[in-house]
A = this chain, B = another copy of it.
Amino acid sequence: VARVAGVAQSTVSRALRDDARVSAATRKRVRRLATDLGYVPSRRGRSLSTRATGQVAVVVADLGNPFYAEAIEHLHAAFDERERRVVVLTDPLETTPLEPERLLDGSVDGAVLTTTLLTSDLPRELAARGLPVVQLNRAVDGDVADACVTENVAGGRAAAEELVRLGHTAVGAIFGPADTSTGRDREVGFRSGMAAAGIELAPVHVRRGPFAYATGHRALGQMLAAPRRPTAVFCANDVVAIGALNAARALGVAVPGELTVFGFDDIAMASWDVFALSTVRQDLAAMARTAASMLCDRIADPAGLPRRVTLPAAVVLRGSHAGPLVG
């Protein structure tokens, strides 16, 4: 473009940026020429010189869980305010794990990781190789990289205390994967709350599975088929709880009359009229805003010790809880 226009390359760059140091006539001429020649200002070219792309990655595994769709929306808004673009990379753990190289190829300035397993080396490896990262919602133990999470232990315990307060003693649980911090910590909290009240979880009333609709649907179906049914069930997250609510509907078991169901997350769906799910709320908007701000800080200042921010959890009572039926 510079050659055809007979001006310096820097003049072309300025003209395309609408820089006032270039006369209006030249700006117009350069822009028309650029269009005619099919010239596109290259982010790659730009980033090779400035080493900043203005782009951040959000790594998610399971878009089928509305939690992640909501997280992406909040992150999008938060990064938008900071004039950063978001690309979403899906990390379908069960097939091929995400290669660190996809994040280290210079296409992004940093990454928000939402899929971290307790055994995952990715946060440490990325941080060690110089990529700013923030773990959101799930994190590995220790101080290997920034993290923004919820008080999962306290939240699980609060759910247990609510069930105890309602008078339930035949209590079941559908826990999440033990290799995630959220699955493990909610279980630890829930068990500690039940133990504090001297209530034992019967092994036949304890199930475990991925954070998925099918997990809750199948597990509750099995529990309700057993001779001694629980009167209340705590679920590892809302999607699992919604699976359980659907299984109860399919089997004609009334919620909350015959069965109390508790979730965790407070996704939008939890408040739908057909569910009215009582749950433990994570402030996902605050978590996303905090993670975005932490990532931008880390990009600006890559050195410094990793930080961990832990946000509170709060019980939300809707319509899926009641006291046990007096037999």
Contacts and interface: CB of A to CB of B under 8 A. Distances in A.
Interface of A: 38, 40-44, 47-48, 63-64, 66, 69-70, 72-73, 76, 80, 85-90, 92, 95-96, 101-102, 104-107, 129-130, 213, 242, 245-247, 249-250, 268, 272-275
B80 A86 contact: no
B43 A106 contact: yes
Contacts of A273: 246-247, 249-250
A105 B44 contact: yes
Contact of A70 (B42, B64, B66): B64
B40 A129 contact: yes
Contact of A90 (B41, B86, B102): B86
Contact of A80 (B44, B48, B87, B95): B95
Given A95-B80, A274-B245, A88 B85 contact: no
B69 A73 contact: no
Contact of A72 (B42, B63, B104, B247): B63
23 contacts: A40-B105, A40-B106, A41-B105, A43-B101, A43-B107, A44-B44, A44-B47, A44-B48, A44-B106, A44-B107, A63-B63, A63-B69, A64-B66, A64-B69, A64-B73, A64-B268, A69-B69, A72-B90, A80-B95, A86-B90, A107-B107, A213-B272, A246-B274
Given A64-B70, A64-B268, A66-B66, 13 more contacts: A38-B129, A40-B105, A43-B106, A44-B47, A44-B48, A44-B106, A63-B63, A80-B95, A87-B89, A213-B272, A242-B272, A245-B274, A247-B273
A88 B40 CA distance: 21
Nearest to A86: B90
Contacts of A96: 80
A88 B85 CA distance: 12
Q: Which of A87, A95, A130, A275 has the most CB of B within 10 A?
A: A87
Contacts of A246: 272-274
Nearest to A217: B273
Contacts of A41: 101, 105
Contacts of A48: 44
Contacts of A86: 89-90
Contacts of A247: 273
Q: Which of A63, A64, A92 has the most CB of B within 10 A?
A: A63
Contacts of A130: 38
Contacts of A245: 274
B42 A106 contact: yes
Contact of A88 (B64, B70, B88): B88
A107 B54 CA distance: 13
A307 B31 CA distance: 32
A273 B268 CA distance: 19
